[in-house]
Structure 1
Amino acid sequence: MDTSKHTLSVLFQQLGLPSDQKSMESFIARYSPLPSEIAIQDAPFWSESQSQFLEEGLEEDSDWAEIIDELDALLRH
């Protein structure tokens, strides 16, 4: 069982995205603001596998859910 604390950087790695601070900030700036009527997993910039990972993480209230929510909040600003 994975008991490590997930961070935004680890989430970006899991999604196959560059995970250094500058890359994460650039990604968030590029895709913000995400309209409120679009669920994070349904955003058009995700691949099918990325979208599925996000959806499963939220639906199953997995240990990823909290950091996915954090990314969601960052994309809404």
Structure 2
Amino acid sequence: MSAVPPPASSVTHEFECPIHGRFDSRVPFGDSPPKSRPCKAMVPHGKPSRDHGQTTMMCRENSLWVPPTVGVVWVGGKPSEQR
């Protein structure tokens, strides 16, 4: 008997922050990805203190969804033939 993995409960989509670049975010399986998500990068915030060091906060810059790239292109309904 072979082990069958459980169905995916979420799918990873890519978003692009104009400041920090691309990052992944999970979306429930079957749902369409949102047009944008806030950036999750942690950035320095405020002045460092001797007792607590540097504090950080999320960037939260509006980051647009990046459509997945196509890995294979079919022309005319079948793969191109090498000659």
Tell me the TM-score normalised to structure 1 length.
0.21
Structure of higher RCO (CA pairs closer than 8 Å, 6+ residues apart): 1
Higher strand residue share = 2
Higher helix residue share = 1
Tell me the TM-score normalised to structure 2 length.
0.20
